[in-house]
C-alpha cells in the first residue's frame, strides 16, 4: 500500500512516468510488467492486471502518455492504451485501445476519435 492508498504487487516490474495521478484504492499487478508513461491519470478503484488467474492470460500492460482511465475500470493483461486516449468509467479493457480516442463499456469499445 502506498501512502496514497493504492497497491502494487511486484513493484520492481512497475515503470512509473512523471506527473502521473493514480487514484485511491487502485490495484496494480505488475508480475509481467506494467508501464505507466508520463502524465497518465488513473481514477480511483481501478485494477490493472499483467496476469489473470481466471483465464491464464498474461502480458505487460502499457498506458501511453497522457491517457486517462476512468474510475472503477479494469485493464487486462497484454493491453496497451494509446497516447491521449480516454477510457470511460466502469470499463473493462481487454484489447488494445488506439491513440487519440474515447473507449468505454464492457468490453470497452472505441466510440469516438479525438
Q: What is the pTM of this model?
A: 0.95
Q: Within a domain: residue 109?
A: yes
| pLDDT of 54 | 85
Q: Within a domain: residue 59?
A: yes
Provide the grid cell at 92: 473493462
Provide the grid cell at 9: 504487487
pLDDT along the chain (114 residues), means of 10: 89 97 97 98 98 92 98 98 98 98 98 96
| pLDDT of 109 | 98
Q: Within a domain: residue 69?
A: yes
| pLDDT of 70 | 98
Q: Within a domain: residue 44?
A: yes
Provide the grid cell at 80: 496497451
| Domain tally, the chain | 1
Intra-chain end-to-end CA distance of the chain, in Å: 35
- CATH number for 33: 2.160.10.10
Q: Within a domain: residue 2?
A: no
Domain encompassing residue 94 = 7-113
For the beta sheet containing 27-29, the strands, ordered from the edge strand earlier in sequence to the opposite edge, are 7-9, 27-29, 47-49, 74-75, 92-93
Amino acid at each position: 500500500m502506498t501512502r496514497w492508498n493504492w497497491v502494487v504487487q511486484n513493484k520492481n516490474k512497475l515503470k512509473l512516468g512523471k506527473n502521473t495521478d493514480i487514484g485511491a484504492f487502485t490495484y496494480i499487478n505488475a508480475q509481467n510488467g506494467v508501464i505507466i508513461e508520463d502524465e497518465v491519470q488513473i481514477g480511483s478503484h481501478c485494477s490493472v492486471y499483467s496476469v489473470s488467474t481466471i483465464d491464464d492470460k498474461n502480458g505487460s500492460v502499457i498506458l501511453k502518455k497522457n491517457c486517462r482511465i476512468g474510475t472503477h475500470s479494469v485493464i487486462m493483461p497484454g493491453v496497451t492504451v494509446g497516447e491521449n486516449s480516454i477510457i470511460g468509467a466502469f470499463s473493462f479493457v481487454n484489447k488494445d485501445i488506439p491513440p487519440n480516442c474515447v473507449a468505454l463499456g464492457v468490453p470497452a469499445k472505441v466510440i469516438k476519435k479525438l
